[in-house]
Amino acid sequence: DSGVTQTPKHLITATGQRVTLRCSPRSGDLSVYWYQQSLDQGLQFLIQYYNGEERAKGNILERFSAQQFPDLHSELNLSSLELGDSALYFCASSANWGNTEAFFGQGTRLTVV
Amino acid sequence: GENVEQHPSTLSVQEGDSAVIKCTYSDSASNYFPWYKQELGKRPQLIIDIRSNVGEKKDQRIAVTLNKTAKHFSLHITETQPEDSAVYFCASTGTASKLTFGTGTRLQVTL
């Protein structure tokens, strides 16, 4: 167990809908990353937060947004969902902002039908 | 931004042989280079990492080398075992502080 908790584990929803993925980082970690992994693909960086502030942004679609709350948990919001958004979404946390080990959650598998 | 290239995309070795995976990065300010192993259906997990002030690091059968001048780093697995079969990702942290991953190498260790 990495100490990073993601909910839900699985999510099936229809095109056009909106979903929220939740991540609780390891105790004491200030940095949260979100990654998208499509079938048999690599880890595409979406966004990073550090202590509540956006730290770095990847190729995140405008339909996607995220935030980190004062208690350091983070949520990734995906709206106007398309079939191509089906993927495994990982959250990772680290103590600092990028030069320390990142611990991954077990991921949320999103299926858009 | 930081770009990380990883080769090969697939690698098949016989049990007991060595495996080498290579990565290059673009941001000369990158200072942290972890390697992650992802087994099928599971989360990526760190197996070894190296910082820019070190040229080589070893942990049992796994070693990582870093060449800052050439901006490349490599993962070496010796005496491979079937349980080493997985997808391996290199990563680096550049000036933007985000952790950028390579595209992954699927390692298959055959008996």
**Model confidence pLDDT, tens digit, residues B32-65:** 999 999 998 899 999 999 998 889 999 999 999 9
Buried b (16+ CB within 10 A) or exposed e, A52-66: eeebbebebeeebeb
For the cut 70, the answer to whether the pLDDT of residue A90 exceeds it is: yes
Q: Does A60 touch chain B (CB under 8 A)?
A: no
Q: Does B99 reach chain A within 8 Å, measured CB to CB?
A: yes
Would you state the pLDDT for residue B2? 80
Q: How confident is the model at residue A81 (pLDDT cuts 50, 70, 90)?
A: very high
Specify the pLDDT at position A98. 67
- B92, pLDDT greater than 90: yes
Question: What is the rounded average pLDDT for all residues in chain B?
Answer: 93
Whether A99 and chain B come into contact, CB under 8 Å, resolves to yes
Higher-confidence position of B2 and A74 = A74
Q: Do A33 and B42 touch (CB under 8 A)?
A: no
Q: What is the pLDDT of residue B54?
A: 86
Average pLDDT for B65-88: 96
Q: Is A88 on the interface with B (CB under 8 A)?
A: no
Question: For the residues A20-29, what does the mean pLDDT come to?
Answer: 96
Inform me whether the C-beta atom of residue B9 falls under 8 Å from chain A C-beta atoms: no
Q: Do B99 and A104 touch (CB under 8 A)?
A: no
Judged by CB atoms closer than 8 Å, whether chains meet at A100 and B43 is answered as: no
Is A100 strand, coil or helix?
coil
Tell the residue number behind the tokens 């100490």, with chain if given. Answer: A3
User: At B94, is the pLDDT very low, low, confident or very high (cuts 50, 70, 90)?
Assistant: confident
Reported confidence tier of residue B96, pLDDT bands at 50, 70, 90: low
On the question of pLDDT at A74 being above 70, the answer is yes
**Are the beta carbons of A43 and B89 separated by less than 8 Å?**
yes
Q: Do B96 and A56 touch (CB under 8 A)?
A: yes
Residue A37 reports pLDDT greater than 90: yes
* Phi, psi angles (nearest 5°) of residue A91: -110, 145
User: Which residues lie across from A76 on neighbouring strands?
Assistant: A21, A66
- The candidate with the shortest Cα–Cα distance to A40, out of B27, B47, B9, is B9
A57-66 pLDDT, tens per residue?
888 999 999 9
Give CA–CA dist A89/A109, Å, rounded.
6
